[in-house]
Amino acid sequence: MSALKVEVIGVNPPCPRCKKTEENARKAAKRLIAEGHQVEVTKLDVTAEETISRFGVVMSPAVAVNGVVRIMGKLPDPGVIERILRKELPVG
């Protein structure tokens, strides 16, 4: 089973909204990990050249799952992130 890759995209140093988004993403991931799923959460700098080339211009905070931006410019609560992650889980 391959891990879900969650990337929190925000400014560096992080603003309060970016910090909270990362915290909420980690909470959502922790719930899925407790059920036996593999989830990796990393933080990316929205101004980094590599981030811009991968995702284009992104409004932060943003959350990408498996390389696709799913949330942009909003502070999502853990439940919203968890629902998005559950939709990306492999079937079976």
Domain limits for position 65: 4-88
- Average pLDDT for residues 40-67, to the nearest whole number? 94
- The CATH number of residue 75's host domain is 3.40.30.10
With bands split at pLDDT 50, 70 and 90, how would you rate the model's confidence at 79? very high
Tell me what pLDDT residue 58 has: 80
User: Residue 75 to residues 28, 54, 59, 66: CA-CA distances in angstroms?
Assistant: 14, 22, 11, 19
Of 14 and 27, more confident: 27
- Average pLDDT for residues 11-24, to the nearest whole number? 95
Q: How many domains does the chain have?
A: 1
Q: How many CB atoms lie within 10 A of CB 5?
A: 15
Tell me what pLDDT residue 9 has: 97
Tell me what pLDDT residue 1 has: 60
- Average pLDDT for residues 34-52, to the nearest whole number? 96
